[in-house]
Chains A and B, each alone.
Chain A
Amino acid sequence: MAEIWQGITAAFWLIVTFDADLYEIAARSLLVTCSAVALAALVGLPLGAWLAVSRYRFRRLVIALLNALMGLPPVVVGLVVYLLLSRSGPFGVMGLLFTPWAMIIAQVVILTPLIASIAHQSIRDLWAEYHDLLISLNTTRPQRIKTLLWDSRRALLTAALAGFGRGIGEVGAIMIVGGNIDHVTRVMTTAIALETSKGDFALAIGLGFVLIGLAVAVNLALHMLSGTEVRDRW
């Protein structure tokens, strides 16, 4: 219990004293996760919509596979991305390993199936509602996908926030491909892991509180900006 109290105190002082290291790793955490969420959403949202409006052979299998990929073990993803980006790997020449780019790539791999799957589920319900109307209005498939994405944008925000939640708290993959290098690839989660291994529980738990606060703040900010939960939209 003493550690938790010390952690809260540590978090408070780290924030109010504008601790440079804290702000640096918090900014890097946000940069890596927000970039990964944006890229994963860019792929996952249209993919979810396309899966909802398309009828093809093995459709159920593809959707089941996508849902299964939501549970991809981050450590395995990290290992595969590590092998692909390592000097002897096919993309080794790009020199991305142990950079924030490698961390973003690993997170995109983890987040894309999650965002696509949640998007698919909400867009599938809207498609059931819009199906006859959009066909009747003689729209093309890209127009249908665009309409479904726009009209389910609030549900898709939830998909993106779920991706953000998973990404900001992820440690396994980014530890492997980023290496937790101070001032280069250290982020909140890897810093917490490091402080815990050093036995500095107060600082670790302090960083943990800052991480939780960061996640809550981003969620609140996005909800406020997008106008969800406004009374006339219940």
Chain B
Amino acid sequence: MVSILPLSLQSATVDKNGKRLLGPVDLELGNAGLTIVLGPNGAGKSTLLRLLHGLEKPSEGRLRYAAPRPVAYAQQAFVFQTPVMLRRTVLGNLTYPLTAHGTQRTEAQKQALTWLNMIGLAGHESQRASQLSGGERQKLALARALIRAPQLLFLDEPCANLDGASTRDIERLILKARDDGTRILMATHDLGQARRLASDVLFLNKGQIIESGPATAFFETPQTPEAQAFLKGDLVL
């Protein structure tokens, strides 16, 4: 299989309604690991993820994958902060990415049932996805993103508003995906979660990446006053 990584951004910006939301940003995303994107509200975390995934177009600069774009788009997935459920059953939501890309229905259902067991939703396959709890929906959204074994996974605050048990289940799935070789880029507000999961960190403020590097170095010796203030729990203005 062709690798879509490394992925690079060169002087990329995102402007909307005359306002700069992100950039200019230079970034290279390597082949392995779990990068946590940290920063205060409005720092541009979600915009960065959406730009890298192709949901936003750069106003300036370039986004470059190691593979042609059709291959790159087919090899990545995104989990949104508020999970979007198709108006179908739980099983229908899970089989959708497979059948949409040519997998036979019976094979898709077989794979989906395996995933339902893995995320603890076995027995819910005929239930409408909209009837699941918030945590169950997010697990289903994560399984739907992972079912095609993407090379690159974007997670936009997937545990926001979830309780401890649901967060633990989601983190287990994320770590399993990382161990299975999926490159992960995840935005979060939760410093504890960042410490538990990160192999490296991107710290954003006011649309700029102001610090990046290995997680241990970032958490132990942050270099910028903004990162130091953020880690201390102070307001970052």
Contact = CB atoms under 8 A, between A and B. Distances in A.
A is bound by B:
yes
A132 interface: yes
B55 A138 contact: no
Contacts of A151: 86-88
A151 B77 CA distance: 22
Contacts of B203: none
A233 B131 CA distance: 10
Prevailing SS type, chain B contact patch: mixed
Given A130-B84, A132-B84, A151-B88, A139 B100 contact: yes
A129 B88 CA distance: 14
A115 B55 CA distance: 31
Interface in A98-142: 126, 129-130, 132-133, 135-139
Interface string B60-85: 00000000000001100110100010
Interface of A: 126, 129-130, 132-133, 135-139, 143, 147, 151-152, 232-233
Given A136-B77, A232-B128, A147 B84 contact: no
Contacts of B84: 129-130, 132-133
B100 A137 contact: yes
A147 B80 contact: no
Given A143-B100, A232-B128, A135 B86 contact: no
A126 B131 CA distance: 18
Interface in B95-114: 96-97, 100-101
Contact of A137 (B88, B97, B131): B97
Contacts of A130: 84, 86
Contacts of B101: 138
A152 B87 CA distance: 8
B128 A136 contact: no
B38 to A, nearest CB: 23
5 contacts: A133-B84, A136-B55, A136-B78, A143-B100, A147-B96
Interface residues on B, range: 10 to 19
A147 B88 CA distance: 10
B53 interface: yes
Nearest to B156: A132
A136 B96 contact: no
A137 B73 CA distance: 8
Contacts of A143: 100
B73 to A, nearest CB: 5
B55 A135 contact: yes
Contact of B80 (A132, A139, A152): A132
Interface centre among A132, A137, A143 (most CB of B within 10 A): A137
B108 to A, nearest CB: 13
Nearest to B101: A138
B170 to A, nearest CB: 18
Contacts of A137: 77, 96-97, 100
Contacts of A138: 73-74, 101
Per CB-CB distance, the 10 closest pairs between chain A and chain B, nearest first, are A136-B78, A133-B84, A151-B87, A138-B73, A138-B74, A137-B97, A139-B100, A143-B100, A132-B55, A151-B86
A16 B53 CA distance: 67
Nearest to A151: B87
A129 B101 CA distance: 21
